[in-house]
Amino acid sequence: MRRALIIGNWKMHKTVAESVEFARALSGGFTARADREVAIAPPFTALHALAAILKGTPIDLCAQDVHWEREGAFTGEVSATMLLDAGCRFVLVGHSERRCFFGESNDDVNRKARSALRGGLSPVVCVGETLDEREADQTLSVLRRQLKEGLNNISADDIRRSIVAYEPVWAIGTGKTATPEQAEEIHDFIRQFLERVYGKELAAEIRVIYGGSVNPENAGSLMAKKDIDGVLVGGASLHLDSFRKIIHY
Ligand code: PEP
């Protein structure tokens, strides 16, 4: 039985004080549940402060990015060891904004995922097609390549600790959500890919979550689908009311 995973990605929003206020309020109203896990991904600057607030609560911390080296002359970058030290359990890798605005390749995503695993974090490997790719009927070939290259050389033991996030780029921040049926079709495709590489039994353990304009109205119907094991939430995770409704779906 896969536990649902709900992650709120705050992107470049919220000061430390705003993050602390939000985390206090969110954790105050949420008790541990066997069927779901919740994490928030604030900006790097708020991680350490939130680790103190969330300690002993059922809400985990997720970073939004990681570098592939452990340390060194990489100005502006943060390593997995540092993120673990700051209190993170998860880290997003290959978010479409990183791919689109910062030119991250599948190879970069793979190096980041493997460094996260080496450093003791669970990578949330994001994949998804653009609108042009969908309209050109390239969705499955794009996803197959992102998965093959992004998960390259990730061992069976490590894939157990990894999460795949299907985030169609056309649905991120646009208000256009994939229907539960559209999303399930792709999640099923991703599960089949994982089965071919890791075997049926192991693939059945790996969580594949959906992201793209998730809100309190659609979260439940998306997660009701067999292969949708949670949601990655951007805009709706910035507001206490809406994120609360989503985690209590
Ligand atoms: C995201 O940032 O991963 C995301 C899915 O954003 P939104 O929910 O705003 O579409």
Once rounded to an integer, what is the mean pLDDT over residues 109-136? 97
Q: Which position among 95, 97, 129, 187 bears the catalytic label?
A: 95
The pTM score is 0.97
Mutate to test the pocket of ligand 1, among 6, 93, 214 (most ligand atoms within 8 A of CB): 214
Mutate to test the pocket of ligand 1, among 12, 232, 243 (most ligand atoms within 8 A of CB): 232
202-226 pLDDT, tens digit each: 999 999 999 999 999 999 999 999 9
Quote the pLDDT of residue 38: 98
Of 49, 48, 36, 42, the C-alpha closest to 8 is 42
Of 121, 109, 14, the C-alpha closest to 63 is 121
Quote the pLDDT of residue 167: 97
Mean pLDDT across the chain: 97
Catalytic residue status for 167: yes
Q: What percent of the chain has pLDDT over 70?
A: 100
pLDDT tops 90 at residue 176: no
Helices assigned H by DSSP within 94-218: 96-102, 106-118, 131-135, 139-150, 156-160, 180-198, 200-203
- Rounded to 10 degrees, what is the CA torsion of 113, 183, 196, 98? -20
pLDDT category at 118 given cuts 50, 70, 90 is very high
Q: How far apart are alpha carbons 245 and 218 in whole angstroms?
A: 11
Mutate to test the pocket of ligand 1, among 64, 95, 100, 172 (most ligand atoms within 8 A of CB): 172
pLDDT tops 90 at residue 200: yes
pLDDT tops 90 at residue 16: yes
pLDDT tops 90 at residue 117: yes
Q: Which position among 37, 104, 167, 184 bears the catalytic label?
A: 167
Quote the pLDDT of residue 88: 98
Once rounded to an integer, what is the mean pLDDT over residues 32-52? 97
Quote the pLDDT of residue 147: 98
Quote the pLDDT of residue 219: 97
Quote the pLDDT of residue 160: 95
pLDDT tops 90 at residue 29: no
Of 124, 113, 112, the C-alpha closest to 167 is 124
Quote the pLDDT of residue 1: 80
Q: Is 167 in the pocket of ligand 1 (CB under 6 A)?
A: yes
Q: Is 234 in the pocket of ligand 1 (CB under 6 A)?
A: yes
pLDDT tops 90 at residue 52: yes
Catalytic residue status for 133: no
Quote the pLDDT of residue 112: 98
Q: Is 219 in the pocket of ligand 1 (CB under 6 A)?
A: no
Once rounded to an integer, what is the mean pLDDT over residues 7-28? 97
